[in-house]
A and B are shown apart, each in its own frame.
Chain A
């Protein structure tokens, strides 16, 4: 369980210790704040709103994680796209695929460059698709995994047919990135356009709760 939590924060590029302390602190402040207000003013209202504060606070934290996860996934897809454009260009310029893959490192962001170094080291030792799959697994994306299998095919057997196959796979990857990006943008908007509906619901809930309280007041005299 703990390992899963640590891996989740690592995926978000967050320090898990700092983040767990931050989230716990926020929740403790909310709970202690409401209880202190109750003790100070002796009104049950402050205890009743505690679950609402708790829910809103944690909903915001979860939304932040979803937003970060989505952003990191898109950034990874785009960075791999940019890096492998050089690979595409070089293998189509008759440069040996393995050498081209090595050259890609110098045009890539540091994290991709480091992962490519590991990939090349492992590939030279094992000579199998495994190192490419391991590289792809670091980005949690099927599109990247498919692309890396295509890269392996061309690296292990650099014939013209394989280069053409890679070209097709790479163009497919570019289209997939485009589709994923626009779907993510639409999803974000569909969530945002829900907020006025939720707010209108809140207005109706306010009216209902207040009515119930008023009626209860009248009944109790």
Chain B
């Protein structure tokens, strides 16, 4: 599905660029610029974000299950073992290497895996073991739930924005294509015009800039 989206996002503007300019080099440049940009997204940006998202999800599941189990049984090692059922294979692997350590030592070592302020706070609370441990853990659980809700809201907002963005650009392309089709003779005269070339260059430059802005908003760094 993602690759189909990429293919459409490259072929549609490149095809339109050729259709309105009748210039293969111009259309090729538009297509190539977007193609190179998508390679950058796929191999650099997306990979980095995916790792962060996996760790962020691991943290949410782990903290949620751990706190509930710990409040019930009051056993750190038992809670650790039972709270990784929904987590990624990376966290399970990490926990397997730490198996011989004590419960608190495992939790301390996991701080480098999660690299999150919420986890550091949780660690501080569980290490202190004050009389208010239960309230502190409930507060952290509540914060964790807020983070999960925030993530769900962001995902919904991202999906909605992606649809809106794609449909609006598609409508823009269709308007341009209809104008070109209905004014065929007129456009053949325009194609040599300096202002026309500058105008369509600005149009595709804006398309490229808006994709760039959209990608950075979509893949905005999530708070762990």
Contacts and interface: CB of A to CB of B under 8 A. Distances in A.
A96 B89 CA distance: 43
Contacts of B22: none
| Size category, B interface | 35 or more
A210 B190 contact: yes
B161 A192 contact: yes
Nearest to A49: B198
**Chain A at the B interface: SS class:** helix
B161 A195 contact: no
Contacts of A198: 206
Contacts of A43: 194
A196 B213 CA distance: 12
A207 interface: yes
**Chain B at the A interface: SS class:** helix
Interface string B141-167: 001001000100110010001001100
A94 B130 CA distance: 9
Interface stretch (B23-31, B62-70, B118-126): B118-126
Given A86-B124, A178-B150, A186-B157, A210 B176 contact: no
Contacts of B176: 200, 203
B121 A210 contact: no
B4 interface: no
Contacts of A197: 168, 172
A206 interface: yes
Given A78-B223, A178-B150, A92 B199 contact: no
Given A93-B128, A193-B161, A203 B193 contact: no
Contacts of A92: 132, 135-136, 139
B219 interface: no
B200 A88 contact: no
B194 A196 contact: no
Nearest to A202: B203
B210 A196 contact: yes
A196 B171 contact: yes
11 contacts: A85-B143, A89-B121, A92-B135, A181-B150, A186-B157, A189-B161, A196-B169, A199-B169, A202-B206, A203-B199, A206-B199
Given A92-B139, A192-B217, A196-B165, 13 more contacts: A52-B198, A82-B121, A89-B136, A92-B136, A185-B220, A188-B217, A189-B157, A189-B165, A199-B206, A202-B203, A206-B200, A210-B195, A213-B193
Interface of A: 43, 45, 49, 52, 56, 78, 82, 85-86, 88-89, 92-94, 107, 174, 178, 181-182, 185-186, 188-189, 191-193, 195-200, 202-203, 205-207, 209-211, 213-214
